[in-house]
Amino acid sequence: MMMCKQAQAPVIQIITGGMDLSMLRHRPQKEKVVVVMGATGTGKSRLSIDLATRFQGEIINSDKIQVYEGLDIVTNKITEEECDGVPHHLLGIVDPESDFTAGNFVNSASMAMESIVGRGKLPIIAGGSNSFIEALVDDENYDFRSRYDVCFLWVDVAMVVLHQFVADRIDRMVAAGMVEEVRNMYKPNADYSKGIRRAIGVPEFDSYFRAEYSSSSDEKTRTKLLEAAINETKINTCILAHRQLEKIYRLRSVKGWKIHRLNATKVFQVKGREADEAWGELVTGPASMIVNDFLYSFGQSRGFAGKADGRGRGIREAEMGAAMATATY
Ligand SMILES: *[C@@H]1O[C@H](CO)[C@@H](O)[C@H](O)[C@H]1NC(C)=O
Ligand SMILES: *[C@@H]1O[C@H](CO)[C@@H](O)[C@H](O)[C@H]1NC(C)=O
């Protein structure tokens, strides 16, 4: 931290040509956090892992259902293989019968961030529960903002394209054993307003499992009920995607959050290698540049001071000018 400050001061003076920067210089150093937002199915996990790999990050899950242990298929938890060795926090660790509130998230995520920056790593918060992110960032005590600089990224996919994708994804989940997974935790008269049972894909199957239990239902009725449950799961997932999007728009317009939008639509319109290339070009590429600017502009956190090798320092100084232009208001 010391070294970082001393290296910085002369650079700033040269760029600003003697402007009084005492306020900036005495501003306490803040740690840096990246937040990856987006509707369900857009690829938040993929982007967060790409970024964690490039910038030595660790991921904090901000999906209010994926915090629970269990129902790995229904809640679409990423696999060990997809994690690619990147440490994840708040993923599948909460008792599925208990309630995990926004307040619980703020406390747990704050602890995780502290331990991540303490290890010299970059915290990357990723998940679909924008209410959790809002509670963390805009807390009444101003704790978060006084300690962290934040960079918001938003993976956006045109809704019609996303609808088709999430519907197909649910068919794949069913093929992967989703119905058996939910059946295993089915309890007649369970409370669907608590814990992991709130997950989309759980309450929707209630009538179907009820019919299975009842000896009077016939095969045809059960098949129909199963189909209806799958349909309803798809519809509710699309409704969730809309709500998530509305919330992001609101955080942008009403709260004035500076959220960088990445249009990933094309990734979902092509296949195979072409899709991977589109992902790199439209999502990982631009996101990496944004995060690079964010990390290596002035006011670096301790976590990144140590990592500035020759190349990193070059980028940092080049970005300093651009950063100063926006830092003077
Ligand atoms: C499920 O959705 C399909 C396609 O939209 C529709 O054809 C079918 O009738 C629906 N089934 C039930 C039981 O709602
Ligand atoms: C996002 O990308 C798609 C596909 O390339 C394009 O059709 C659409 O207009 C873009 N949306 C916006 C808002 O730029």
Q: Is the CB of 278 under 6 A from ligand 2?
A: no
Atom of ligand 2 nearest to the CA of 269: 4
Q: Residue 189 C-alpha to ligand 1 middle, in angstroms?
A: 26
| pLDDT computed for residue 4 by the predictor | 29
Candidate from 227, 230, 236, 237 with most ligand 1 atoms within 8 A of CB, to mutate: 227
Q: Residue 239 C-alpha to ligand 1 middle, in angstroms?
A: 17
Q: Is the pLDDT of residue 57 over 60?
A: yes
Q: What is the pTM of this model?
A: 0.83
Contact 291, 47 (CB under 8 A): no
| Mean pLDDT value of segment 36-61 | 98
Q: How many CB atoms lie within 10 A of CB 230?
A: 21
At residue 290, φ and ψ (nearest 5 deg) are -65, -45
Residues 6+ apart with CB under 8 A from 203: 192, 197
| pLDDT computed for residue 215 by the predictor | 76
Q: Residue 227 C-alpha to ligand 2 middle, in angstroms?
A: 33
Query: How far is the first Cα of the chain from the last one, in angstroms, to the nearest whole number?
Result: 25
pLDDT by residue (tens digit) across 256-280?
999 999 999 999 999 999 999 999 9
Atom of ligand 1 nearest to the CA of 231: 1
Place of tokens 């918001």: 152
Atom of ligand 1 nearest to the CA of 225: 13
Q: Residue 205 C-alpha to ligand 1 middle, in angstroms?
A: 15
Who lines ligand 1 at CB under 6 A?
A: 224, 227-228, 231
pLDDT by residue (tens digit) across 96-130?
999 999 999 999 999 999 999 999 999 999 999 99
Judged by its nearest atom, the ligand closest to the C-alpha of residue 262 is: 2
Q: Is the CB of 265 under 6 A from ligand 2?
A: yes
Residue with CA at minimum distance from ligand 2 atom 14: 263
Q: Is the CB of 267 under 6 A from ligand 2?
A: no
Judged by its nearest atom, the ligand closest to the C-alpha of residue 159 is: 2
Domains and CATH numbers, the chain: 32-163+237-326 (3.40.50.300)
Residue with CA at minimum distance from ligand 1 atom 12: 228
Q: What letter would DSSP give residue 32? A: E
Q: State the alpha helices, DSSP H only, in the chain.
A: 2-16, 22-26, 44-55, 80-83, 102-118, 130-137, 143-147, 159-175, 178-184, 206-213, 219-253, 272-279, 285-296, 302-305, 310-327
Atom of ligand 2 nearest to the CA of 156: 1
| pLDDT computed for residue 217 by the predictor | 81
Candidate from 260, 265, 281 with most ligand 2 atoms within 8 A of CB, to mutate: 265
Q: Is the pLDDT of residue 29 over 60?
A: yes
| Mean pLDDT value of segment 210-223 | 89
| pLDDT computed for residue 25 by the predictor | 52
pLDDT higher for 268 or 308?
268
Contact 286, 262 (CB under 8 A): yes
pLDDT above 90 as % of the chain: 77
What's the rounded Cα separation, in Å, for the pair 35 and 205? 33
Residue with CA at minimum distance from ligand 1 atom 13: 228
| pLDDT computed for residue 229 by the predictor | 98
CA angle 38, 42, 47 (to 5 degrees): 80
Q: Is the CB of 263 under 6 A from ligand 2?
A: yes
Cα-Cα-Cα-Cα dihedral sign, residues 275, 290, 105, 137: negative
Contact 43, 126 (CB under 8 A): no
